[in-house]
Amino acid sequence: MDVKDIIKPENLVYSKSKVLTDTVMHYCPGCSHGVVHKLLAEVIEEMDIQDKTIGVSPVGCAVFAYKYINIDWQQAAHGRAPALATATKRLYPDKYVVAYQGDGDLASIGTAEIIHACNRGENIVVIFINNAIYGMTGGQMAPTTLLDMKTATTPYGRSVELNGHPLKITELVAQLEGTCYVTRQSVHTPASARRTKRAIKKALENSAQKKGTSLIEVVSTCNSNWKLSPVKANDWMVENMFPFYPLGDIKDR
């Protein structure tokens, strides 16, 4: 049998999204970023909005999204993606504007920007990758780091007395009048990835309908800085992060 007979459309099980570039992803094995990139690209392709989508990425591992997803991109200063996304959406109201941020960015230096963008109800989509640590800069404690979790700056574990409580930024923005859809998902299993994909699509549709701000938190792994294998990192996430950051829709208006 000729290879061309095998790859006929009716025999095709899966094909890479045309919105993804041919650049080989550099992320650490087990990193959640690549899966979320794939899901976002698939939704953009299925909605046929590649030429209508503008991404905004700040500093951190999230910045590299522009190398892998073939849409128009802007890079924001650390934490400022919601502010730049606000300006972009107001200048081009017919575009889909997506801010792609990590927890060390969105929940720390960018707290003011995300809170006020959500409070204003900007018609943007925010994808928030929460791996409870600063991934790119060496594994320091992030606002989302769990209590007793060891990091480069909390070698004996995070303590309330010294470091305060972990910040549930997603619950905070869900209380704001400007948010229409706030959800917490993951991508550690095929089923969870499908739920995250549906959430991304719903958020983009909300933007087109001018319902307000949609925020999708993706509870993720950082096995390199957690010092775990990809498999054990997933297990640790399920056992430790999910109880504190429970999955599911928090707000759907």
pLDDT at 64: 87
Domains and CATH numbers, the chain: 27-132+141-252 (3.40.50.970)
Query: Running DSSP on this structure, what letter comes out for residue 124?
Result: -
Pairing of strands 248-252, 179-186: antiparallel
Q: Name the H helices within the chain.
A: 3-6, 33-47, 65-68, 81-91, 103-104, 111-120, 160-163, 169-174, 190-208, 223-226, 230-236, 242-244
How much is the pLDDT for 3? 64
Residue with tokens 């690549």: 34
- Residue (of 218, 216, 220) closest to 207 by Cα position: 216
Q: How far is the C-alpha of 15 from the C-alpha of 54, rounded, in Å?
A: 24
- At position 22, the amino acid (one-letter code) is D
User: pLDDT 10s digit of each residue in the chain, 253 long?
Assistant: 666 666 677 777 888 999 999 999 999 988 999 999 999 999 999 999 999 999 999 988 888 899 999 999 999 999 999 999 999 999 999 999 999 999 989 999 999 999 999 999 999 999 999 999 998 888 899 999 999 999 999 999 999 999 999 999 999 999 999 999 999 999 999 999 999 999 999 999 999 999 999 999 999 999 999 999 999 999 999 999 999 999 999 999 9
* Amino acid identity, position 38: K
Residue 13 has what pLDDT? 80
Beta-carbon count within 10 A of 163 CB = 17
Place of tokens 């054990």: 232
Beta strands 53-57 and 72-75, pairing class: parallel
The pTM for the full model equals: 0.94
Give how far Cα 209 sits from Cα of 93, 94, 122, 204, Å: 11, 10, 12, 9
d(CA 196, CA 158): 29
Strand partners, 185: 218
pLDDT at 122: 98
Q: How far is CA 223 from CA 13, 173, 234, in A?
A: 30, 28, 8
The reported pLDDT for the residue numbered 6 is: 66
d(CA 168, CA 147): 13
Residue type, 225: N
- For the chain, the straight-line distance linking the first and the last C-alpha, in angstroms and rounded, comes to 54
Give the integer Cα–Cα distance in Å for 246 and 86. Answer: 29
Dihedral over Cα of 117, 121, 127, 130: its sign = positive
Coil/strand/helix, residue 43: helix
Nearest to 188 by CA among 241, 237, 116: 237
Res 249: pLDDT = 98
